[in-house]
Amino acid sequence: MKHTDLKNLLRLLRYMGERKLFLLCAGVCTIVSSVCAVHGTNLLRPIINDCIVPLIGDGSPEFGLLFRMIVTMGIYYLVSALTLLAETEIMIFVCNDTIFRLRRDMFSHMQRLPVSWFDTHSAGEIMSRYNSDIDVLANMLKQGLPQLVSGAVTIVSILISMVMLSPPLLAVVLICTAVIVMVNTFLFRRNKKYQRRQQSVMGDVNGFAVETIRNHDIMKHFAMEEETAGRFDALNGEYVSASMNSQLYAGSIFPLGSGLSNMGFAAIALAGVLLAARGMTDIGTIAAFLQHYKRFYTPVMQISRQVNNLIAALSGAERIFSVMDAPAEEDEGTTVPSGGGLAEGIAFNDVFFGYQKDAPVIKGISFELKAGGKMAIVGSSGAGKSTVIYLLNRFYEPGSGDITIDGISVRQIPKGTLRGMISIVLQDTHLFTGTIMDNIRFGRPDASDDEIIAAAKKVHADYFISHLPMGYKTPITEDGSMLSEGQKQLISIARAAVSDAPILIMDEATGMVDTRTERLIGEGLKALMERRTILMVAHRLETVRSADIIAVMKDGLITEIGSHETLMQEKGLYYELNMGSKELL
């Protein structure tokens, strides 16, 4: 166990420590359970030695003592089982509760992380924090940890009993156990090597499968079916032999362990018999020893496995804690612009920004946009257009320079207020599972149904929605396959409309939608843009032409800025982009 593992374990325990009382009870129950179980087994000795053996050959044996001792044994076992049950159930409660709190805290902290964190962590990675990492942790807490503790207590109490019963037999037990542990460890390590190979080949197999599925139509067009299937067969063959080896080593641990343990069992019986022949022990002790051995073997086998599981779980815990420790978005602002709306305007002052330190995407831009005005940013792809609009609502922070709203630096405005003033229509439509009404309401949770329908009407979305069989209550499925791209766009425009925010930032979509819906979207956007201050990245010629100010960006700088007429007269980049084409990319 490394130092970091220990730190994570302690942190985890502190998390569980919220339920200190329960943990204490569980601990007590574990100890009582193990001790009672061992003690019950110890009673085998007097039962056999004092209640059975002396009576052999007796004409009229008196079984009262036997009966009483067995009842006592039964009671010990009963107490052991009940406390074990109590401990199990307590730990189930504590663990599920801890997992719940971990998930909840991880999620709420994640919500405060900056957009850049989400850019650098794939969805798959994030999901596995909540799933496989937490699952492994949960298993460890529910089973691993309790088994380690109870196993340790059991081993200690059995060792003590064995020492008191017969040191020579204990020696035999220890030798057998040592041999078994060594063989097991050896096999375990061998197994890890084969397991790693199996995982790696499985990765190749799966990667090939995913690629084939994704590029299925390309394979069909080039008629490469036979070649693809052939290549896969080769990979598959490798996997079959890799998993055969891995399963062989993993699986043979059991029969080998069982064989050895049975040898040990017989060895103890033999040693016991030999010692009994010399009068150094008796049948009762042998019986107790054999039972103890059975109970001793399992925790010993489990300990090394559980320690490995513990380490694996702790590395998962580390990943979970790294999410919770990631720095949250900066939000130290306290100044609130008065009036709620935008009074004067937005200004960018010599703003620099780069996703990475030494690769600036925006290299010093400045402009002013008066309240109520519309500004369109155009330029070739990669020029940094979308980044500009995301700097306004502080998805990213500029490296240097300042952005102001009504003269107040956006850094000084609390993020909630700032973003409350800005609504957004993105390039890709994003919808949530839920009804259409729910999705539109996402723009303003306290909007009434009427307000939502009014907003939808305003942006020309109401027509198609009310003609759907379930209207506004139509559920949106996970992949949104029920609606066309254009319809989804209209819903997200309605969402922006309902939010009532004075500023709108827009990253215009470039996808091809059918002309009818395209026209509707154009009208919807026009309606949305009334009486708002607009900052947008635009592609459609008509959208750009309608802007008050057009800024042409190239290589992170604004090279031309002005109205459509002004720029056309300049005959610069804008003029060239404009000539003869409908789309400005």
Partner 1 sequence: MNSIRALLPYIRRNKRAAALALCFMLLETAAEAAIPYMTAGLIDEGLRGGQMDRVVRSAGIILLLSAGIALFGYFGTKFLSAFSAGTAGAVRSDFMRKLCFLSPIDLDGLSESSLTTRMTADISQIQQALQMLNTFLRAPCYIIMAVIMVFRISDSLSRIFVVTIPVFGAVVWLIVRASRKHLVRRARSTDVMNRYILENVTNIRLVKTYVREDSQGKGFTEQAGELRGHSMKADAIIGVANPSLQLFVNLCVCALLLIGGREAVGGSLKLGELLGLITYTNQILYQIILISMVVVPLLNVRVSVDRVLELIQRESRIAESADAKPLGPGGDIVLRDVCFSRTALSPEGGGTSEAEDALFRGITLTFRQGECVGITGATGQGKTTLVNLLARMYETDSGEITVGGERIKDVTLKSLRRHIAFAPQKSRLFAGTIADNLKYGRPDATDEEMTEAAKIADIHDFITGLPQGYETRITGDGNVSGGQRQRLCIARTLLSGAEVMVFDDSTSGLDKVTEERVIRGLCEGCPGKTRIIITGKISNLRHMDRIVVLDGGRVAGTGSHEELLRSSQVYRELCLSQNEVEP
CA distances from 317 to 15, 129, 328 (A): 11, 9, 19
Q: How far apart, in Å, are the Cα atoms of 360 and each of 392, 402, 509?
A: 17, 16, 25
Least CB distance to partner 1 at residue 525 (A): 17
Residue 160 or 274 with smaller CB distance to partner 1: 274
First to last CA, the chain: 56
Dist CA 188 CA 199 (whole Å): 16
Q: How far is the CB of 486 from partner 1 (least distance, A)?
A: 10
User: Which structure tokens are listed for 238?
Assistant: 């490798």
Backbone angles phi, psi at 157, to 5 degrees: -70, -35
CB of 24 to partner 1, least distance (A): 19
The residue (of 22 and 77) whose beta carbon lies closer to partner 1 is 77
- The token pair that represents 547 in the structure block: 């802007």
Using the minimum distance from each CB to partner 1, give the nearer residue, 46 or 364.
46
On whether the CB atoms of residues 476 and 531 are closer than 8 A, the answer is no
CB of 66 to partner 1, least distance (A): 6
Measured from the CB atom, the residue of 194 and 321 that comes closer to partner 1 is 194
Question: From the CB of 60, what's the least distance to partner 1, in Å?
Answer: 10
Least distance from partner 1 to the Cβ atom of residue 239, Å: 7
Q: Give least dist CB 2 to partner 1, A.
A: 30
Q: Which segments of 115-166 does DSSP mark as H helices, in order?
A: 115-120, 123-128, 134-139, 145-165
Nearer to partner 1 among residue 358 and residue 478 (C-beta): 478
Give the residue with the Cβ less far from partner 1, 238 or 548: 238
CB of 53: closest distance to partner 1 in angstroms? 7
- Positive or negative, the CA dihedral 18, 22, 25, 27 is negative
Q: Which is nearer to partner 1, 159 or 205 (CB)?
A: 205
Torsions phi, psi for 508 (to 5 deg): -65, 140
Q: How far is the CB of 201 from partner 1 (least distance, A)?
A: 12
Can you tell me which residue has the tokens 């007429």?
A: 565
Question: Cα–Cα distances in Å, from 13 out to 20, 94, 107?
Answer: 10, 11, 20
DSSP letter string over 212-232?
A: HHHTHHHHHHTT-HHHHHHHH
Tokens matching residue 424: 């957004």
Q: In whole angstroms, how close is the CB of 573 to partner 1 at the nearest point?
A: 12
String of b and e for 512-527 (b: at least 16 CB within 10 Å)?
ebeeebbebbeebbeb
Locate all alpha helices (DSSP H) within 373-529, ordered by sequence: 385-392, 415-420, 436-441, 449-458, 462-466, 485-498, 515-529
- Beta carbon nearer to partner 1, 283 or 311: 283
CA 240/CA 202 separation, integer angstroms: 10
Determine the Cα–Cα distance for residues 275 and 267; give it in Å rounded to an integer. 12
Q: Which is nearer to partner 1, 1 or 482 (CB)?
A: 482
Residue 30 neighbours by CB under 8 Å, 6+ apart: 83, 84, 87, 146, 149, 150, 153
Question: Minimum distance from CB of 409 to partner 1 (Å)?
Answer: 19
Give the residue with the Cβ less far from partner 1, 107 or 350: 107
> What is residue 29's three-state secondary structure?
helix
Using the minimum distance from each CB to partner 1, give the nearer residue, 407 or 511: 511
Residue 155 burial (CB count, 10 A): 18
Among residues 218 and 343, whose Cβ is nearest to partner 1? 218
Based on CB atoms, which residue is closest to partner 1, 125 or 530?
125
For helices 283-325 and 64-110, give the axis angle rounded to 10 degrees: 10
Shortest CB 453 distance to partner 1, Å? 19
For the CB of residue 481, give the shortest distance to partner 1 in the complex, in Å. 8
Per the CB < 8 A criterion, the answer to whether 499 and 423 are in contact is: yes
Hey, is 245 helix, strand or coil? helix
